Amino acid sequence: MSIEIERKFLVKASFKEYAQDSVYIVQAYLSISPKCSIRIRICGDKAYLTIKGESSASGLSRYEWERELTVDEARELIKLSEFEAIEKTRYFVPLGKHCYEVDVFEGKNKGLIMAELELDSEEETYEKPSWLGTEVTGDSRYYNASLQTKPYSDWNGID
């Protein structure tokens, strides 16, 4: 069993000058419930099936299981989703011993830029760059599963 510990932040300023790499991501959820979500993701030339469990009370940690698929398998499975796929470019921004993953969303989530930071423990300290904005860890509106069913443009007033 693998536990994912992650903090999420909105991005308030330019960060791309610090990015070392990026990848285009298309993902869709086949099942979304408070207890469990099942996601298919195509990330560049790789693809994954991921099952995520319920978040802890703090929103910092949850069970995660992941297996690699072929891109063709993932494309077929994405067709099973009842919602439009999420599209985003993920930028990798190293800072100290960590690496922020900054997602710039497209489509119905355009305008949303969010940084995620995976940690080894909920108490682990980390550096906060100047471009990092408000922490949204635990705010379910910013979960990718929520963004698929209730896109950012639907509740943030952006067209």
Distance CA 108, CA 155 (A): 11
Domains of the chain with bracketed CATH: 2-156 (2.40.320.10)
Kindly report the average pLDDT of the chain as a whole number. Answer: 94
Tell me the residue length of the chain. 159
Please give the DSSP secondary-structure letter assigned to residue 44: T
- Those residues whose C-beta lies under 8 Å from the C-beta of residue 46, and which sit 6 or more positions away, are 68, 71
The single residue of 24, 29, 63, 100 carrying the catalytic annotation is 29
Residue 108: which of 154, 75, 140 has the closest Cα? 154
* 29 classed as catalytic: yes
pLDDT digits (tens, 9 = 90+) for 24-61: 999 999 999 888 999 999 999 999 999 998 888 777 88
* Cβ-count burial 121-137 (b if 16+ within 10 Å, e if not): eeeeeeeebebbeeebe
According to DSSP, the residues that pair with 24 across neighbouring strands are: 89
Distance CA 68, CA 66 (A): 7
157 pLDDT band, cuts 50/70/90, is: low
